[in-house]
């Protein structure tokens, strides 16, 4: 097994670690994060909000100040939908939550203040989840697709994705695995391995064509053809817990990463990074 693949297996095994103590609901994210257990990161292309989905709930960390959004739920698979303020998630309810355990698939249309129960409540904890032009692709031990978030099809797959990445304006989906990247061009119905691709732990799309990925050691890769070929870029010298990418103000893909020291951003295609609070 390659070193990158071994590191990815170890990283996945680490997901079963005991949860950390609950943090304050507001505070400065500079020099750290509002939670030690980050599950997802999203950036709004319209409002430029930077959102962290954590074991203790959802936080807006735009500008370096962490503000709690909505109730306390352990949000897994946090991923943006097609509309501003629309996100999908799964996971487990937190203290004071009236949501079922596990959450199944839930959706918010108000940026995380409230969540609508869509399907598989009490059945599925989707650790990997993404939205496409045609629906949802998710993994709860079984790879599943849905066109409406309520009824599901099972996909026969010989791999277990660590992460799923798609774009609401495309049906291309990337799955990261210890053996390499799997790619689907039909919203998760069929898959094929990416030849000569890197072994990445996280993947994200800035646009239907532009994708980025990060290896377990922090090495960043970029693709301009929706994940078919990849170019090595820079390296993040910290543990990466989640990534997100959108088109920047200059029309180029910007890449964000959540690390124990805070959220960082690259505006040069993943070559260099700086604290996102400086933006």
pLDDT of 7 reads 52
* 178 Rama sector, left if φ>0, alpha if ψ -120 to 50, beta otherwise: alpha
pLDDT at 163 over 80: yes
Residue whose structure tokens are 């650790």: 127
Phi and psi based region of residue 218 (left: phi greater than 0; alpha: psi -120 to 50; beta: remaining):
left
| Residue in the block written with tokens 């996945």 | 12
pLDDT of residue 76: 98
> Which helix (H) or strand (E) is 5 found in, with range?
helix 3-13
Of 195, 230, 226, nearest to 215 by C-alpha is 230
Which is it for the CA torsion 193, 196, 212, 168, positive or negative?
Answer: negative
Q: What is the largest CA-CA distance in the chain?
A: 48
Q: Which residues pair with 2 in a beta bridge?
A: none
Contact 89, 99 (CB under 8 A): no
- The per-residue pLDDT for 193 is 99
Q: Which domains does the chain have, with CATH numbers?
A: 38-275 (2.130.10.10)
CB atoms within 10 A of CB 32: 15
pLDDT digits (tens, 9 = 90+) for 115-139: 999 999 999 999 999 999 999 999 9
Q: Give the residue-averaged pLDDT of 20-32.
A: 42
Query: What pLDDT is stored for residue 45 in this prediction?
Result: 73
Please give the pLDDT value at position 279: 57
Q: Is 16 helix (H, G, I), strand (E, B) or coil?
A: helix
The Cα-based distances of 141 to 91, 160, 221 in angstroms read: 13, 7, 27
Selection from 248, 223, 236 nearest residue 275 by Cα: 236
Gyration radius from the chain CA atoms: 17
Q: What pLDDT is stored for residue 8 in this prediction?
A: 62
């Amino acid at each position: 097994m390659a070193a990158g693949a071994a590191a990815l297996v170890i990283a996945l095994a680490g997901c079963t670690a005991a949860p950390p103590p609950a943090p304050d609901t507001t505070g400065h994210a500079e020099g750290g994060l509002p939670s030690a257990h980050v599950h997802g990161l999203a950036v709004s292309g319209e409002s430029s909000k930077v959102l962290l989905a954590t074991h203790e709930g959802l936080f807006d960390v735009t500008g370096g100040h962490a503000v709690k959004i909505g109730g306390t739920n352990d949000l897994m698979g946090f991923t943006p939908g097609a509309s501003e303020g629309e996100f999908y998630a799964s996971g487990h309810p937190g203290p004071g939550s009236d949501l079922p355990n596990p959450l199944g698939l839930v959706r918010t249309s108000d940026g995380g203040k409230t969540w609508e129960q869509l399907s598989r409540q009490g059945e599925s904890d989707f650790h990997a989840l993404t939205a496409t032009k045609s629906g949802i692709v998710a993994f709860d031990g079984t790879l599943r697709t849905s066109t409406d978030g309520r009824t599901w099809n099972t996909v026969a797959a010989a791999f277990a994705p660590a992460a799923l990445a798609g774009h609401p304006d495309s049906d291309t989906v990337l799955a990261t695995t210890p053996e390499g990247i799997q790619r689907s061009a039909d919203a998760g119905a069929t898959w094929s391995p990416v030849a000569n691709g890197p072994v990445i732990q996280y993947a994200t799309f800035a646009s239907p064509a532009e994708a980025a990925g990060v290896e377990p050691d922090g090495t960043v890769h970029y693709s301009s053809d929706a994940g078919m070929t990849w170019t090595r870029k820079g390296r993040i010298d910290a543990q990466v817990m989640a990534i997100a990418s959108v088109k920047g103000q200059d029309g180029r893909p910007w890449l964000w990463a959540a690390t124990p020291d805070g959220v960082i951003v690259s505006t040069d295609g993943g070559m260099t990074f700086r604290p996102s609070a400086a933006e």
